[in-house]
Structure 1
Amino acid sequence: MTIRKKLLLGTSALMIAGGLTAFNRDDRFFEIARSLDIYATMFKELNMYYVDEVNPNRMVKTSIDAMLKNLDPYTNFFAEDEIEDYMTMTTGRYNGIGALVGQRQNKSIVMMIYEGTPAEKSGLRIGDEILKVDGVTVKDRKDADPGKLLRGQTNTAVKLTVKRYGQKDPLELTVMRDVVKMTNVPYYGMINDEVGYIDLKDFTATAAREVRQAVVELKGKGMKKLILDVRENPGGLLNMAIDISNLFIPKDSEVVTTKGKVQEWNKTYTALAPPLDLEIPIAVLVNSRSASAAEIVAGVIQDYDRGVLIGQRSYGKGLVQTTRELSFNTKLKITTAKYYIPSGRCIQAIDYSHRNPDGSVGKIPDSLRTAFKTKSGRVVYDGGGVLPDLVTEEPNPTPIALSLTNKGLIFDYAVKYRNEHPTIKPAREFRLTDAEYNEFANWLKDKEYDYTTQVEKDLGTLEASAKKEKYFDQIQDQLKALKTRVGHSKDADLATFKPELKALLENEIAGHYYLQKGMKEVSFNNDPEMKAALDLFKDMNKYRGILKK
């Protein structure tokens, strides 16, 4: 074939491909226009002829949410009245008093107060029931979120009527609203003479600055080794994950690459600033609820062999969201790309693009995962979150602990304890005595709570199967004996699982006195990942050995 013929055939193929692309694009635009026209005319007919009045805003929001539900959980629409929540999510700031209010038994209860906020300064306590906001009874405002009623412009006053445990008459409190900053690092401090600890809980716009400040202060106090805790961290802003990673890896090192449908948006992000520290040994704590930006930081530390990961496999969210402005001050947060950490792996664990016939989604199978290598040659895999170098057992609460927590009895007892004890020891030293634990057990005697253990559930399943298959008559005596033997006793469980329940109580009580910092400090002695990190730092040969090929 001559060169001329080859060129002609090539040009023809390009013209055909271009024509098909144009045809497909025009056909797609027609389908979009057709569908929108059907939707608009249907909505018009509903609005005009439906037997009852319809709320247009609510109906459209419902339809949009249903449409986006078919994609992934991270593509979300924000209506105009939800923009404040969106801004709080991305900036960590809002105008209010700094109290978390929850609903319990149709009551609005203060569940947490944030340090340094107007709520703390006013004397409001965890456990207070909010009866009125600016004279309006909260129960009469069934359509309103009590937490949102507390929000408002800076330097405006809100009058609260609250009921406090142990006091007959309600209290009247006036709280001046202010800008409330939800910190990304609720706690940092020295664990011992050489180990520092940073609890990183979010990735809003100031996360990198807060982590940098914490590292600098801890080094000033003699920190020689660092524990970075990203457990329970759902992620946040991508640029904060890049900047935090930059603190511990060399300048110009690759941090993350994003790849999506819009080629122009694909980009490789590198460390732009000089690092803060390239030598300090690092242990990163992760669990199954460490996601997104938290996984980028953990993955970068692992891929560069910069530190050891400890805990459980992370969540596996390797998706990037971009916010798009829509009309009438609404927004769309849309998944636009997947991200890839320095080894080349994408840690996305769930395949949202291929749904099962029932609409459910599944995880990427092990057979489709690919092996990659860290800087020193250690093998790591994609498609399943970040697997720690030292895996610890995931906490498995006992049925009695779950029941007492879900029924709010641990919380209620902490409210009672706080009322009866004006002060306690510092959180790191605070421990309940055996006598105090026995008081808690006695307090529970007239409280309503029950639970079914897994063994009891399994016996129930066995009995049902035996009856169905006509074996019950033959084994009913043995089943009865087993039920008697394994049937739970509340008193026995309170004694058997005393260490676990005591730790839960100490954590909750410390929070009522010392807020989030207290809850963190009192938990150190019962934290398996913390213990594993401290033990590893005592054996630096083992630490260095883990990071080698």
Structure 2
Amino acid sequence: MQLCKTLISYIIITHTIVWAFTTHRGRLSCGNQCLIQNVRDISNLKQLQNQDGSLVAGTRSTHRTRLNLWKNFSFNNANNDKDDDSSDFDRLGKKSSAIDNGRDKNVNGEEDDGDSSKKINPFKTMLQNERITELNSSIANIVRSNEFLSKIASYVQEFADRFEQNISNIKLVLLSFSTGIALTVGVLLYAVATTVSLEDGNPVTESTALMETILTDLSEGYVDEVDSRTLFETGVSAMLSSLDPYTEFENVKDAEAMQESISSRYGGIGLVIQEVRDEKGIGDLSVDQSGDEVDTGFDEEDFLENPANAPSKTKKDDKEKELKIRAVKAFEGFAFDFGMRTGDLLVAVDGTPIKSLKSVDEVRNKLRGEIGTVAKIDVIRDGVGPLTVEVPRQVVKIPDVKLSKLMPGNDDIGYIQLSSFTTDTGLEMRNAILDLQSQILERGGNGELKGLIIDLRGNPGGLLTSAVDVASLFVPRGSDIVSAKGRGFPGVLYRSRVEPLISSQKTKLAVLINGNTASAAEILSGAIQDLDLGVIVGSDRSYGKGLVQNVQELPYSTALKYTVAKYYTPSGRCIQSIDYKDGNGKKAVKVSENDKSLFYTRSGREVKDGGGIEADLKVPAPSASALEVTLLRSGILKDFASEWSKKNQLTDNFSVTDQLYREFQAYVNDKHKAGDINLTAIYAGPLKQLQRSLEESKYQISKSELKSLESDIVREMIKDFDKYAKDIKEDLSNAILDRYLPDSMLLSRSLKTDVQVNAALKLLKNTNEFNQLLARNTGVEGDKLARIDSSGATTSKASEDLGVRLNLNW
């Protein structure tokens, strides 16, 4: 019973809500285009009822209104608007009986078209609508008689009114809600698609998801707080280093430094600074002495107001409370010209004491600043005392051409030292050659160089396009210079399109290389060798870097430098000396002689790939003794130069006399006894390894015996002061002069005793020997670059101009 009451109440409430909405709309559709004007609200119902509650005359009026509306819309008889009920029904009856064989006749007896037969009898529809009206009236009576239902109807009607008033806002809300649902569904679908792709085994997607998960877990759950950025950089660096040593991730700081090295420009004063280190902290100086270059532990480019690459501090340095900074290089045209000198101890910058700063980076940032401002630097100079030097801040361009001069006693032979390949290297090289030609003209010559020495020793390379620009100054027009290709890299060929500035028919070329000549420097030397334009002079081979790196900018001001291709010299050989196919480290293997292919230069000379550029004229470089390496790396030469400057003045005829040399020996001996320098530091690694091996083998050897061995090594090294006096005197002289003279003068002075430079000079004077080195007859037709691979097959290199020029970084 209760259930029945509940159902009846539900039905009544539902009909009440429907009635309220219908009343609110004001019109009720009666079917065939017939609209019934209904009662607006409950109060209007009272006008349509008798005292006994029955509907009266208003009903007939409603019927008439219905018929007139139907008549107007259906019969198009707007003028027939009589107030006669019978006529209305008569017309309706006539219309109802006028259907004959699918055709109608209107009230005037005219036939309607076939479409009229499809109309529904409006009289039947009217009767149905009357029942609906009566039902609405009944519902209205029920609602009116029930207070609860009346309130519900009132609330529903009020809601409907507000709904209509705010329909536009509601539509906007619904649209926003629908958009939100669509976006949510899209995100969910993307997550599902990602999950599906992960399940499908996409290695890149899987690795990315794993990296994100690992970093998140470590960042949130590791026992100690971790830096997720440092973890990411460490992981990425380890990943990239497994490919080759040239593929690297550059963070913000590294990317800025790389951009500076590429452009060779930065805003500053042109000063190289370094933190003062305690000589007692000098550790293992073990080096590989197989090369012919002495590594002094300091590279000008790496330390250029960017000490991130400076040697790490020792434990003793970490305990120092006050920061000490010394100038180790002042560039010509910049800091040097305004009074800064090598060895100056910086005291303050723009009034800020150096001891109040915490790191070399902070000092560098103080030296740098807005272009056009002046840096006021307080320094202490040995032998002079406190000084204040004002240096304007400007765009510092580090020159790639370190020295350009005519050789003394040979006014028609020039020398150019090229240290790197950056943006303006081609222009610098061109200006240097033109300057040499002008000097010859000024001395009464014809302006033609009879010989030119290009010094690429120690040149690490740089921009590929800069190497092409420099090569274009020497190679004949239309000659191939270099080509490059890789797995996802479009093949490109660089060919000279200009007339050379130097003619190989008039000017003999000699190119100096060593084991540190690499990359873009090898492109230049390889093009000159393959086209038989000059002779390569060196101790053996160049470095052998035949890989092309591209720099891809990444978000957050970072960059990715990665290997994209290998380059090939005009003969078609790749001079890459190490195979990184299986990964870097222990798996990287050097190209063996059996794997090298034989190629031919334009005149038929034999050359090989897979091991750098081999010298045509081999001149061994002087090898540095263990004592010389120790003295250079320890910094004791500069320390002695500082002490000498306090007591002496530089003269025009300065030289390291025997007396001065003995003073230096005594100075080194005193420092060694005081423990400020360890003369056996270069052997520290092997000695430690020997001691460890003996302990593991359980051989009974006392520490005193090892100490005795070290003492014997020191005595032998002391004897080297006499054996290598010439070389050490030269190093000492350079250390003292470096505090007074610019780089160009020091370089020019060193050429006099440079063995390889003198050998190249001698070769350029000997035309017969020069031509013989460039014209070996191998039986291969000249003017064709060809190769013979390991199987003995001979192939020629096609000279196809792809017409593409790329600015790639090396």
TM-score, normalising length: structure 1: 0.85
Change (3 A) 1:287 1:430: farther
**Aligned twin of 1:196:** 414
Deviation larger for 483-492 or 240-249 = 483-492
Q: 2:595 aligns with which of 365, 368, 381?
A: 368
Moved more, 76-85 or 459-468: 459-468
- Aligned mate of 2:639, from 398, 412, 418: 412
Cα separation, partners in 2 of 1:239 and 1:55, compared to 1, 3 Å: same
Counterpart of 1:224 in structure 2 is: 450
In the alignment, which residue of structure 2 is the partner of 1:395?
A: 622
Q: Which residue of 1 aligns with 2:659?
A: 435
Task: Give the aligned partner of residue 321 of structure 1.
Answer: 549
Is 2:216 aligned against 1:66? Answer: no
The Cα offsets for residues 397-416 of structure 1, whole Å up to 9 and x where unpaired, read as 11111111111011222333
**Of 151, 163, 166, which residue of structure 1 is paired with 2:380?**
163
Name the counterpart of 2:367: 150
Seen in structure 2, the aligned counterparts of structure 1 residues 509 and 29 have a Cα distance that, compared at 3 Å, is farther
Range 46-55 or range 480-489, more displaced: 480-489
Partner Cα separation in structure 1 for residue 356 and residue 754 of structure 2: 40
1:473-503 deviations in Å (ceiling 9; x for gaps): 9xxxxx9999999863555322222101011
Q: Which residue of structure 2 aligns with residue 123 of structure 1?
A: 339
Contact 1:203 1:237 in 2 (8 A): yes
Letter in 1 for 2:247: T
Question: How has the CA–CA distance of structure 1 residues 65 and 480 changed in structure 2, closer, same or farther, with 3 Å as cutoff?
Answer: closer
Matched, 1:45 2:217: yes
Contact 1:112 1:515 survives alignment (8 Å): no
How has the CA–CA distance of structure 1 residues 102 and 395 changed in structure 2, closer, same or farther, with 3 Å as cutoff?
Answer: farther
Separation (CA, whole Å) in 1 of partners of 2:564 and 2:641: 45
Question: What is the deviation of 1:144?
Answer: 3.1
**Alpha-carbon distance, 1:259 to partner:** 0.8
Q: Is the 8 A contact 1:160 1:172 kept in 2?
A: yes
Q: Which residue of the partner structure matches residue 266 of structure 2?
A: 94
How many pairs align? 514
- State the AA in 2 paired with 1:153: E
Q: Distance in 2 between matches of 1:116 and 1:525?
A: 25
User: Once the 2 structures are TM-superposed, how far is the Cα of residue 56 of structure 1 from its aligned partner?
Assistant: 3.5
Shift of 1:50: 3.0
In the TM superposition, residue 145 of structure 1 has moved relative to its aligned partner by 5.7
Larger-Rg structure? 2
- The one-letter code of the counterpart of 1:63 is G
Q: How does 1:112-511 map to 2 (within 5 A)?
A: 112-117=329-334, 119-134=335-350, 135-138=352-355, 140-142=357-359, 144=361, 146-166=363-383, 170-192=386-408, 193-222=411-440, 223-263=449-489, 265-278=490-503, 279=505, 280-312=507-539, 313-355=541-583, 359-425=586-652, 431-448=655-672, 449-452=677-680, 488-489=715-716, 491-511=718-738
Corresponding residue number in structure 2 for 1:13: none
Give the 3-state SS of the residue equivalent to 2:328 in structure 1.
strand
CA contact (8 A) 1:401 1:501 kept: yes
Structure 2 CA distance, aligned partners of 1:347 and 1:247?
23
Asked if structure 2 preserves the Cα contact closer than 8 Å seen for 1:463 and 1:472, the reply is: no
List gaps (5 residues or longer) in structure 2: 1-196, 278-316, 318-323, 441-448, 777-810
1:124 and 1:37, CA in 2 relative to 1: closer, same or farther beyond 3 A? same
Q: Deviations over 1:442-484 (max 9, x none)?
A: 33342233434999999999999999999999xxxxx999999
In structure 2, the residue matched to 1:103 is: 275
| 8 A contact 2:401–2:418 mirrored in 1 | yes
Task: Show the counterpart of 1:529.
Answer: 756
Distance 1:456 1:155 in 2: 49
The 3 A distance-change label for structure 1 pair 468 and 55 is closer
Contact 1:506–1:522 under 8 Å retained in 2: no
Report if aligned partners of 1:456, 1:486 keep a CA contact under 8 Å in 2.
no
Tell me, yes or no, if the aligned pair for 2:463 and 2:520 is still in contact at 8 Å. yes
Question: What is aligned with 1:18?
Answer: none
The one-character-per-residue Cα deviations of 1:186-244 (angstroms, maximum 9, x if unpaired) are 11101132211000001001101111111111122223210000001000000111111
| Structure 1 residues 86 and 441: CA distance shift in structure 2, 3 A | same
User: C-alpha deviations, 1:243-284, integer Å up to 9, x for none?
Assistant: 111111111100001011124x21011012111122310110
Further displaced range: 27-36 or 233-242: 27-36
Between the aligned partners of 1:521 and 1:314, the Cα distance in structure 2 is 24
| Structure 2 SS opposite 1:267 | strand
Task: State the Cα RMSD in Å.
Answer: 3.3
What amino acid does structure 2 have at the position aligned with 1:315? Y
For residue 354 of structure 1, give the secondary structure of its aligned residue in structure 2: coil
Deviation at 1:180, TM superposition (A): 0.5
- Which letter does structure 1 place at the counterpart of 2:471? S
Greater displacement, 395-404 / 294-303:
395-404
Change (3 A) 1:160 1:212: same
Gaps of 5+ in 1: 1-24, 474-478
More moved, 121-130 vs 248-257: 121-130
Give deviations 1:403-447, integer Å, cap 9, x for gaps: 11111011222333445444443xxx7532333323323333422
- The residue that corresponds to 2:10 in the other structure is none
* Structure-1 separation of matches of 2:538 and 2:586: 32
Deviates most, 290-299 or 330-339 = 330-339
C-alpha distance in structure 1 between counterparts of 2:273 and 2:371, whole Å = 19
Moved more, 363-372 or 159-168: 159-168
Instruction: Tell me the distance in 2 between the aligned counterparts of 1:289 and 1:327.
Output: 34
Q: 1:462 to 1:58 in 2, by over 3 A?
A: closer
Name the SS of the counterpart of 2:346 in structure 1: strand
Give the CA deviation at 1:172. 4.0
Shift of 1:143: 7.8
Pair 198,469 (structure 1): closer, same or farther in 2 beyond 3 Å: same
Distance 1:469 1:379, change over 3 A: same
Q: Output the CA distance in 1 between the equivalents of 2:622 and 2:407.
A: 22
Cα separation, 1, equivalents of 2:236 and 2:476: 44
Measure the CA separation in 2 of the matches of 1:46 and 1:244: 51
Counterparts of 1:488 and 1:95, CA distance in 2: 49
Cα distance change of structure 1 residues 53 and 167 upon mapping to structure 2, 3 Å threshold: farther
Change (3 A) 1:484 1:147: closer
C-alpha displacement of 1:101: 1.1
Using the alignment, how far apart are the partners of 1:48 and 1:466 within structure 2? 47
